[in-house]
Chain A
Amino acid sequence: MSIRIEHVAKSFSTYPALDNVSIEIENREFVALLGPSGSGKTTLLRVIAGLEEPETGRLWFGHKDVTRTKPASRGIGFVFQHYALFGHMTVADNIAFGLNVMPRSTRPSKDSIRSHVGELLDLVQLPGLEKRFPSELSGGQRQRVALARALARKPKILLLDEPFGALDAKVRRELRSALRAIHDDLGLTSILVTHDHEEAFTIADRVAVLNRGRIEQFDAPKEVELRPATEFVRAFLD
């Protein structure tokens, strides 16, 4: 699903976190939001998710204005940096959460939820871990479970907030290619926040470089690398 953001602004107490940001993301595109901490990239992602309300501006998913839509009804999947798994639930219950909270009339049957959980675990390459608790898993496994959980309600849009930030380099590379494969398989539109330009360049179709709440450049990785649009982008990539 395409995403259009028009003139979004948001400030925290005094400093502007987003300063009149506009960006258009195409259907099935994988976009990375790249920038140093405090550049506003996470705030932009949270505005798209509905976790932060913009002060001005509009937000469109396809042809639908979702500026005032609650996160629960936006049809998104969100993956957090520190997994945010529910510690008191098994892996299966974590993944099924989004389905179990659906109103009875639209909720799938117990059996179909169970088989769907199995399929999602296969998708993230963790078959058979249904009965485990999050505390029994490694960091990489936890993030895979979190990804499966975010995909359970078949969202069209996947939002990821530094999902590999807490993982070591090897696990990071594995998860990166797994994520890109899932994105292509399911036909998702994905936005990934990162401060690591290598990560942004290897996974994304286009990269938006943010600085002080503004988008400095939005281009294919090659373009950004070869022709940095501003002095900031040049310095940040060095």
Chain B
Amino acid sequence: MKARSQLKEPTSVKALLIAAALGYVVVMLLLPLGVVLAEAMKKGLSAWFRAVSDPDARSAIRLTLTVAAIAVPLNTVFGVAAAWLISKYDFRGKPMLITLIELPFSVSPVVSGLVFVLLFGAQGWFGAFIEDHDLQIIFALPGLVLATVFVTFPFVARQLIPLMIVQGRTSEEASLTLGASGWQTFWHVTLPNIRFALLYGVLLSNARAMGEFGAVSVVSGHIRGETNTMPLHIEVLYNEYNFVAAFSVASLLTLLALVTLGLKSALEWRHRDEIAARL
């Protein structure tokens, strides 16, 4: 009897496909990661430590964490609200709103940054008003936060909208007929239903917020120790031929990304039964 199924590839083809996939992963993902770490450690652990504890580097780390700490919660609240609106209500212009939410994905980050310079810069639309009131938006923390919020705008909403559309409104309606208020319904019914997607959205949004370069670069003004985030600081160091320091800070940024990824996988692993039960 012939046991070979129609779907089974010849061994040679299988080996070739696996080799191609592995090769691609190694060249495109593992190699660059390895280079970052190798370059960072080139002059030993103490050089790495000196580079990341340099005052300018520390200020960049602090700034990056501050920007993320403001931008991510803002976009989490907005993303949940937008997804709620889109999935639970019917109104005119819904496709338009979805397109608008995704706009930051298709706009070049440089343009995203430039928009805020044109709005709030000295020559910008609101420039005079801002100067009169002694405010600082561009080349300061508010500008960095604005640019980051704009760029990371879609992440949470994009994770939630398809899921919440599939889940429909029945759970919420059940909750309402059982006497719960809108807020209780959101807290006890909607939020538990979307928590994993919400978490992924937050993690992705956080990774992008910390790693964003283009938009932030335009509004930052590159004041060392003041308005340079980690990615900007890395570029400055690199342009100064300070490769070990540049890669040291880069390795730290990479580490943040890996931690994010690790968190996501750990959560998926811990709640695998529940996730499987939902599908």
Q: Report A's interface with B, CB cutoff 8 A.
A: 49-51, 70-73, 76-78, 80, 82, 84-88, 97-98, 101-102, 133, 135, 149-150, 152-153
Contacts and interface: CB of A to CB of B under 8 A. Distances in A.
A98 B277 contact: no
A153 B179 CA distance: 9
Contact of A97 (B188, B192, B278): B188
Interface in B178-196: 178-181, 184, 188-189, 192-193
Q: In terms of DSSP, what is the predominant structure of the interface of chain A? A: loop
- Which 6 A-B pairs give the minimum distances between C-beta atoms? A98-B178, A78-B177, A84-B174, A101-B180, A84-B170, A88-B192
Contacts of A101: 175, 178-181, 184, 188
Given A51-B173, A84-B173, 5 more contacts: A87-B278, A97-B175, A101-B179, A133-B277, A149-B178
Contacts of A133: 277
B53 interface: no
A234 B175 CA distance: 39
Contacts, number: 65
A80 B174 contact: yes
A62 B63 CA distance: 64
Contacts of A77: 177
B189 to A, nearest CB: 6
Contact of B177 (A72, A87, A88): A72
A50 B177 CA distance: 8
A84 B177 CA distance: 11
A98 B171 contact: no
B111 interface: no
Interface string B139-174: 000000000000000000000000000000011011
A51 B177 contact: yes
A119 B180 CA distance: 22
B261 interface: no
B230 to A, nearest CB: 37
Contact of A88 (B178, B181, B193): B193
A82 B181 CA distance: 22
Contacts of A80: 170, 173-174
A70 B178 CA distance: 11
B179 A87 contact: no
Given A87-B278, A101-B188, A150 B193 contact: no
A78 B188 contact: no
A202 B192 CA distance: 40
Contacts of B17: none
A77 B178 CA distance: 7
B178 A150 contact: yes
Contacts of B25: none
Nearest to A146: B174
Nearest to A135: B277
6 contacts: A71-B173, A72-B180, A78-B174, A87-B277, A101-B175, A102-B179
Nearest to B185: A101
Contacts of A153: 178-179
A173 B262 CA distance: 51
B202 to A, nearest CB: 19
B19 interface: no
Which of B171, B177, B180, B188 has the largest count of A CB atoms less than 10 A from its CB? B177
Contacts of A86: 171, 174-175, 188-189, 192
Contacts of A152: 178
Nearest to A100: B188
Max chain A Cβ within 10 angstroms of own Cβ: one of B178, B179, B277: B178
A127 B10 CA distance: 57
A123 B270 CA distance: 37
B85 interface: no
